[in-house]
Amino acid sequence: MLILLLLLGIGFLAVTAVFAPWAFYLGGKFHWYPYWSGWGRLHSNISGDYVIYVSFEPSPGGTGSLSTFVSGVGYVCTPRGDRIRMTLVGTMRKHLNLSTDGEAMYIKIYHRPYFSSSPERRPRVELRGHWRNPDLVMNDDGSISRSFEPDGGVYLGNGANRPYKSEVVPITLKQGSYSEFKDACASPSHNGFRHS
């Protein structure tokens, strides 16, 4: 079993090296595993402070697509102290160079509960911006104000009644780990976040 896992891992790395070599250089430096993770703080004048974490790697895309795809996980830590696990999908342009510095990127993270038949995918947070190695300099494209109530709770009402962009908030995702994100969430400077 261990040998099979090792062979699968080597196969994944080899395929990535051929079809997505840029993934080994995300953030500006070579790393053996083709992925990137980072986190940042976002301040909404409407609902308060959020901490967002993302982690992603190359993902197969549709045949003939004009984009490069990534997938992974994200977390949103809300002003109320909720830490919400999210599914991540993202895109960059096709045919990337080894260096992604300056490249545009789009990321969407959305709630996708395990073992649930519910079609509910809220909250959804969308981030748009560019690589400024080693960071991603982005904004929320109005998605925080669409996805959350003024008290920081998830908005579950009729989306047609919600302004599309009542506030666009900047965020810089700095390269970092999930444990750093958890520490930032637990920091007293973040309105006394409480977590399970």
**What are the domain boundaries of the chain?**
2-186
Rounded to the nearest 5 degrees, what angle is found at the Cα of 170, between the Cα atoms of 169 and 171?
A: 120
How far apart are alpha carbons 118 and 8 in whole angstroms?
Answer: 33
Give the model's pLDDT for residue 64: 58
Give the model's pLDDT for residue 2: 63
Contact 139, 127 (CB under 8 A): yes
Tokens linked to 66: 């004009």
Least confident of 104-108, 141-145, 155-159: 155-159
Tokens linked to 35: 């992925």
Contact 49, 185 (CB under 8 A): no
pLDDT at residue 126 above 70? yes
DSSP state of 148: B
State mean pLDDT over 17-39.
Answer: 84
State mean pLDDT over 41-49.
Answer: 95
Contact 21, 98 (CB under 8 A): yes
pLDDT at residue 17 above 60? no
Q: Is 37 exposed, middle or buried (0-12, 13-18, 19+ CB in 10 A)?
A: buried
Local confidence band at 127 (pLDDT 50, 70, 90 cut-offs):
very high
Q: What is the pLDDT of residues 52-102, one digit of tens each?
A: 999 999 998 765 577 899 999 999 999 988 999 999 999 999 988 889 999
Rounded to the nearest 5 degrees, what angle is found at the Cα of 79, between the Cα atoms of 183 and 54?
A: 55
pLDDT at residue 139 above 70? yes
Strands 170-175 and 48-59: unpaired
